Amino acid sequence: MIAKRIVIGLCLVWCALGSVGAAAVQTVTVGSKNFGESYLLAEIAAQVLEAQGFRVNRKLGLGGTLICYEALKNAEIDLYPEYTGTLSQAVLNLPGNPDRTQINQVLADQGLELLAEYGFNNTYAIVVRDEQAQQLGLRRIGDLHQQNLTAAFSHEFLQREDGWPGLAQRYNLQQPIKGIEHGLAYQAIADGAIDVTDAYSTDGELQRYQLRILQDDLGYFPEYRAATLVQTSASPQLRQALAGLHNMLDESQVQALNGKVALQGQSFQQVAADFIRANASRLGLSEQDTAKIETLSGQSPWVGQLWGHFMRHLQLTGSALFAAIAIGLGISLLVYRRQRLAEIVVYLCGLMQTIPSLALLALMIPLFGIGFLPAIIALFLYSLLPIVRNAITALANTDPTLVRVSAALGLSGWEQLRYLRLPLATPAIFAGIRTAAVISIGTATLAAFIGAGGLGEPIVVGLSLNDTNMILRGAIPAAVLAIVVELVFAALERRVSPPR
């Protein structure tokens, strides 16, 4: 009996110790922006944490600075790599060129903190083709003043306080400019479609496309020193785990790492893993720690990843579409008899379509965070207009003669709706649903910018790497899905529509 109690007691102690150990494992969500170096730095941080026993969720490729920043403020992610110049100029609007200590004084009011810097400065740069620079004698940004060159800059650079508006004023540049996705700008300048664009001084693509950085002779750009941005409530364990990244990288090292991705076609995961293994002692990692790192050989093949993206995309669009069908048709049935109210409803649904897709997704973050839920809500709002407009129009414009005949036959309003209006409106209603489905499938590719996944994820990564094959891995399945859904609804329409 005593032995039995001892065994039970030991089991309880063992279970308690196990539960304590399990509780000690922290789950950390690592985010990044949607350009190559941010992916790489985030992956390095993620693997360093995994090597030290943390469970890491990745939300990489979030769309732009403000989306990442808002996601961190709302505790949707726990950290992401950021730059001092970006925080001071584009987010906090601080004058001059403040250092990390000054930036943290302001960030403290928002519950955020910039940890110790990685050691390199990745400043903005204005670049041209090296061959063209030699022909025109371009060495400094000021040399662009008298040149008639085609300039295109990333959309974020065009809007930032430390971007084009201030640069144009400082250097008196007056040439017309265009907006372009940062990842596509490199291919555009290499092909001669544009002559001038913005870049990051540590980009690997500078070597790949033989681009020359024009000297910032008036000292316009502030320093952009990279570091990890976290919440002030971040645990001491998390801070200690990331402490080894302090002063680990200089500009040449980062450009070399970026070059492995851009020039040699290696994945972010593989480059990060190789870097960590080569610098394990400086990072405070043992051989056992580095053995935990996921390498490229341990990842699922891209076909398996693509299937996961496809199923996620199907979840996103299916959930949003079915909600839009149920609610949209319900609203239409309630208001189609009241012309003024119906016009207001259609107008409000149309108003949603005027908001750019990425802007609507970004607006969802303060309300619903990032990930699946805000993407579903945004896609639902975009799907409403074609469904509601087609349904209301078809129901309200049923042939008046047929309506009068049905009334003369003694059919009630409900019976007229069931046996007359709905059957005649079915083709128009299905046309609206088919349109909404195609819109939802296409728009859902942007959901990757707020961490919702789907087929937009390989597209976003492909854009950051200028990798056409990876872009097509997301674009082609999305197009096929749209065609299949269109055919399915067309077949369903033929099945339920009254014979003609």
pTM, to two decimals: 0.73
Handedness of CA 144, 146, 150, 154 (dihedral sign): positive
Predicted local confidence at residue 18, as pLDDT = 46
Comparing CA positions, the residue from 398, 383, 385, 382 lying closest to residue 345 is 385
Confidence of residue 21 (pLDDT cuts 50, 70, 90): very low
Identify the band that residue 108 occupies on the pLDDT scale cut at 50, 70 and 90: very high
Choosing among 3.10.20.30, 3.90.170.10, 3.40.50.2000, 1.10.3720.10, the CATH entry for 302-496 is: 1.10.3720.10
Which tokens sit at 142? 């000021």
The band of 341, judged by pLDDT with boundaries at 50, 70 and 90, is very high
Here the tokens at position 308 are: 């996961």
Residues 419, 409: contact at Cβ < 8 Å? no
Question: Domain-by-domain residue ranges, the chain?
Answer: 2-119+224-298, 124-214, 302-496
**Calpha distance 63→463 (Å, rounded):** 12
Query: Strand runs (DSSP E) across 197-302, as ranges?
Result: 197-200, 211-214, 225-231
Tell me: the pLDDT tens digits for 372-430? 888 899 899 989 999 999 999 989 888 788 878 777 777 877 777 888 888 888 889 99
Which segment of 2-11, 147-156, 315-324 scores lowest on mean pLDDT? Answer: 2-11
- The model's pLDDT over 467-482, given as tens digits with 9 standing for 90+, comes to 788 888 888 999 999 9
Task: Report whether 238 contacts 28 (CB < 8 A).
Answer: yes
Say which residue, 101 or 496, is predicted with more confidence: 101
Could you tell me if 317 and 444 are in contact, meaning their C-beta atoms sit under 8 angstroms apart? yes
The mean per-residue pLDDT over the stretch 101-128 comes to 93
Enumerate the β-bridge partners of residue 55. 27
What is the pLDDT of the chain when averaged over all its residues?
85
pLDDT of amino acid 294: 54
- Fold designation for 124-214: D-Maltodextrin-Binding Protein; domain 2 (3.40.190)
Measured on CA atoms in the order 174, 175, 176, 179, is the torsion positive or negative? negative
Q: Is the dihedral of CA 160, 165, 169, 171 positive or negative?
A: positive
Sign of CA dihedral 451, 456, 457, 462: negative
Is 10 a residue whose pLDDT tops 60? Answer: no
Quote the Cα angle for 435-437-438, to 5°.
Answer: 70
**Percent of the chain scoring above 70 in pLDDT:** 91
H or E element in which residue 41 lies: helix 36-51
- The second-level CATH assignment, the architecture, of 2-119+224-298 is 3-Layer(aba) Sandwich (3.40)
- pLDDT given for residue 300 in this prediction: 52
Dist. CA 48–CA 32, nearest whole Å: 15
Tell how many helices (H) and how many strands (E) occur in the chain: 23, 10
Per-residue pLDDT tens over the stretch 85-101: 889 888 888 887 888 99
Q: What is the pLDDT of residue 320?
A: 93
The single-letter DSSP state of residue 62 is E
Closest CA to 345 of 336, 358, 353: 336
Give tens-digit pLDDT for 290-313: 777 754 434 556 666 788 888 989
Is the pLDDT confidence value at 333 over 50?
A: yes
**DSSP per residue over 380-438, as a string?**
HHHHHHHHHHHHHHHHHTS-HHHHHHHHHTT--HHHHIIIIIHHHHHHHHHHHHHHHHH
Task: Evaluate if residue 16 carries a pLDDT over 70.
Answer: no
Angle, CA of 290, 294 and 300, to the nearest 5°: 165
Predicted pLDDT at 19: 42
Give residue 302's pLDDT: 63
- Closest CA relative to residue 265, chosen from 474, 60, 41, 462: 462
Please indicate whether residue 166 or residue 13 has the higher confidence score (pLDDT). Answer: 166
Two structure tokens written together for 34: 């949607």
Alpha carbon separation from 9 to 6, 15, 17, 21, 23 (Å, rounded): 5, 10, 12, 18, 21
Q: How high is the pLDDT of residue 62?
A: 86
For residue range 231-257, list pLDDT tens digits in order.
Answer: 999 999 999 999 999 999 998 899 899
Vertex 205 angle, CA 97 and 211, to 5°: 80
pLDDT for res 380 = 92
Lowest mean pLDDT among 107-116, 175-184, 238-247: 175-184
pLDDT at residue number 215: 93
Domains 2-119+224-298 and 124-214 alike in fold: yes
pLDDT tens digits for 136-164?
A: 999 999 999 888 899 999 888 888 878 89
* pLDDT computed for residue 240 by the predictor: 93
Q: Read off the pLDDT band of 216 (50, 70, 90).
A: very high
